[in-house]
Structure 1
Amino acid sequence: MSQTKIPLIGVVGCGYWGSNHARTLSGLGALAAVGDRHADRAATLAATHQVPVLSLEEMIADPAIDGIVLALPPHHHADAAIEALEGGKHVLVEKPIALSVSDARRVVDAAARAGVVAMTGHVLRFHPAFERLMELIGAGELGAVRYIHSHRVGLGKFHAENDALWDIAPHDLSLILAITGERPDQVHGEGSAMLNRLSDFAHLHLQFPGGIRGHVFTSRLNPYRERRLTVIGSKAMAVFDDMAPWAEKLALYRHKLWEDEAGWQSEMVDPDYVGIEDGMPLTRECRHFLDCIATGAAPRTPVSEGLAVIEILSQGTVRHD
């Protein structure tokens, strides 16, 4: 494939997130078709972006379509992804890529056999604030990372198949895996089901082989929204707050800590707000998918990362009768 050619992508799933993908890919000149089992929903989105409505099978059979984005109910992701991969199409499958470790492994195995781009939709990995945070960590600005904790809470989005852990935690687990560069060797989960059998609150406690510890808190029964990732290092602390104004989304705290005869002491300082470039994470993610297809580069968020997240979720899942 010529590197100057924009790959053409079909989007399967025309709900909220699939519509966002379609709009973004259309803006990049890469949208080829949309599809959804709800014909009226697909027709409306197709008319908006002036592309045809095609089924997954029709997209796979169309040689002009290079890749497929899957934004389906999660229990359909694995089978649809495998079908597209076995059809030779590049795939971006939204999180979670499956609802079981065995199905996620099937997706990873199918991608390896197909030899195409197979990417998980961990969109926050492409947020400019997180990219800048990774640069700071790589440059040693935080020193050695010791502890990571995330809070992602809000009200609503009650799914029939997914609890708060499976629906919300993948975002932060993908960020934590990127920061640590390793998988946890200990996972402990706690959940509370208030409305039905599915947890509306969930905690994950993580310990990594290198000594880093992590904590993830998710809730869909919270009176306020919070989207915050905090990284504690030996030299400084950083906070990625996605609810903050753009200029304040990434804060670096160089609090002073020292030990004297009276014990440990501290002195708080005002945060330094780190400048980040403008850009929508989904646009950057879709452009990355297109670039990987065009160049053959490995994706930043391969389906193997989606598998790693599901393995952690499975270890931390709390069952309710």
Structure 2
Amino acid sequence: MSKPRIAVVGCGQWGQNHVRTLSELGALAAISDHDEARARAMSERYGVPALGLEEVAGSREIDAAVLALPSRLHGPTGRTMLKAGKDVLIEKPIALDPADAAHTAEVARESGRLLMVGHVLRFHPVFERLCEVVSRGGIGDIRHMVSTRLGLGRFLGMDAIWDLAPHDLSLVLKIAGGAPERIETSARSVLSDEIDVADIRMDFAGGLSAEVHVSRISPFRDRRFTVVGTQGMITFDDLAPEGQKLALYAHRVWREGAGFAFHNADPEYLETVPGLPLDRELRHFIECIETRREPETGAAEAVETVRILSAASPYPSSRAGE
């Protein structure tokens, strides 16, 4: 069976990565971009037609679309593609408010098409291994999660919560297996006119909690995700050298008399399989199109992520998505 024929709509910096990867996978059918010169160059480079949005939606030669557009355009464009019978992968976030996100999810359901959100870190082989360890009880019962995303820059007309936190919220939601019951946020503008730093705290059913720290004014980079359990802790450090990205700590804390005692263990670095997250994400999208299975990062997660983002920062920016 031939691979699904997929168009990429939006060929900016991240969209070009989708174009290149889909071409390597033999699934690229067309590209679309508002910049005509860029569209022509991409068309010539990859040997696929450059089409307008209406042409993509109306083409019988295209089965699905990947949207990498300014966030304010994701909902309207995604709904157009879904109504035209295309399966759709939309880059995060799929909308700038929960109602718009829910509308897109409803159109996907009514049209019988697949809707997937581009939470690429969910397909990182190190995170997938972390999930395996956690799900089999490798650190006992899960109690807490901490996700940190710090760095300098990306002042792109969208505050740090909406720009950076979707990555981390996706990881948290996967481990939690459900939506948070309570969300609290501390956020501040420091060097710009928008939110530069934020802490998002979430409480889930059963006593599970999580915290997400994001900053775009940090002098150093930090990309770590930690899960704390009753029998240990495990950390995915995306900036660590190969072979040290996933560390298992057999730390334990227990009640002793009127107080508590603890055991401190050296890290055990776990082996992980190689693989590029975007390649794995797009392979998953192709498999879902072929089998009609629900994507790992489907409509429900897309809507819930936007709900949390909106609760944390109701107004992402007056210039968001420009």
When normalised by structure 2's length, the TM-score is: 0.95
Q: Which residue of 1 aligns with 2:133?
A: 136
Could you tell me whether the CA contact under 8 Å between 1:5 and 1:294 is conserved in 2? no
Q: Which residue of 1 aligns with 2:171?
A: 175
Counting only pairs closer than 5 Å after superposition, residues 220-239 of structure 1 correspond to structure 2 as: 220-239=216-235
Aligned-residue offset at 1:95? 0.2
Q: Structure 1 residues 318, 104: CA separation in 2 closer, same or farther (over 3 Å shift)?
A: closer
AA aligned to 1:213 is S
Q: Distance in 1 between matches of 2:6 and 2:147?
A: 33
AA aligned to 2:119 is H
Deviates more, 1:227-236 or 1:192-201: 192-201
Could you tell me whether the CA contact under 8 Å between 1:153 and 1:226 is conserved in 2? yes
Q: Deviations over 1:218-265 (max 9, x none)?
A: 111111111100100011100011111121111110024333347322
Could you tell me whether the CA contact under 8 Å between 2:4 and 2:290 is conserved in 1? yes
Counting only pairs closer than 5 Å after superposition, residues 1-321 of structure 1 correspond to structure 2 as: 4-160=1-157, 162-261=158-257, 263-317=259-313
Q: Distance in 1 between matches of 2:256 and 2:57?
A: 67
Q: Unaligned stretches of 5+ in structure 2?
A: none
Q: Distance in 2 between matches of 1:195 and 1:298?
A: 42
Q: Deviations over 1:246-305 (max 9, x none)?
A: 211111100243333473222321111111100000000000000100111111001221
Q: Distance in 2 between matches of 1:210 and 1:282?
A: 33
AA aligned to 1:91 is V
Identity of aligned residues (%): 45
List 4+ stretches of structure 1 deviating above 3 A. Answer: 318-321
Q: Distance in 1 between matches of 2:252 and 2:82?
A: 52
Could you tell me whether the CA contact under 8 Å between 2:230 and 2:253 is conserved in 1? no
Q: Distance in 1 between matches of 2:77 and 2:242?
A: 36
Q: Distance in 2 between matches of 1:36 and 1:314?
A: 28
Q: Distance in 2 between matches of 1:137 and 1:246?
A: 21
Q: Structure 1 residues 256, 185: CA separation in 2 closer, same or farther (over 3 Å shift)?
A: closer
Q: Distance in 1 between matches of 2:184 and 2:292?
A: 38
Could you tell me whether the CA contact under 8 Å between 1:46 and 1:53 is conserved in 2? yes
Q: Distance in 2 between matches of 1:141 and 1:227?
A: 22
Q: Deviations over 1:29-78 (max 9, x none)?
A: 00111111111122222222121111121111111111000000101101
When normalised by structure 1's length, the TM-score is: 0.96
Could you tell me whether the CA contact under 8 Å between 2:31 and 2:48 is conserved in 1? yes
Could you tell me whether the CA contact under 8 Å between 2:191 and 2:217 is conserved in 1? no
Q: Unaligned stretches of 5+ in structure 1?
A: none
Q: Deviations over 1:113-132 (max 9, x none)?
A: 11111100011111101111
Q: Deviations over 1:94-139 (max 9, x none)?
A: 0000001111011111110111111000111111011111111111
Q: Distance in 2 between matches of 1:93 and 1:261?
A: 54
Aligned-residue offset at 1:197? 2.9
AA aligned to 1:188 is E
AA aligned to 2:93 is P
AA aligned to 2:59 is D
AA aligned to 1:238 is I
Q: Distance in 1 between matches of 2:58 and 2:68?
A: 19
Instruction: Describe the SS at the equivalent of 2:206.
Output: coil
Aligned-residue offset at 1:8? 0.9
Q: Distance in 2 between matches of 1:225 and 1:249?
A: 15
Q: Distance in 1 between matches of 2:200 and 2:67?
A: 27
AA aligned to 1:45 is M
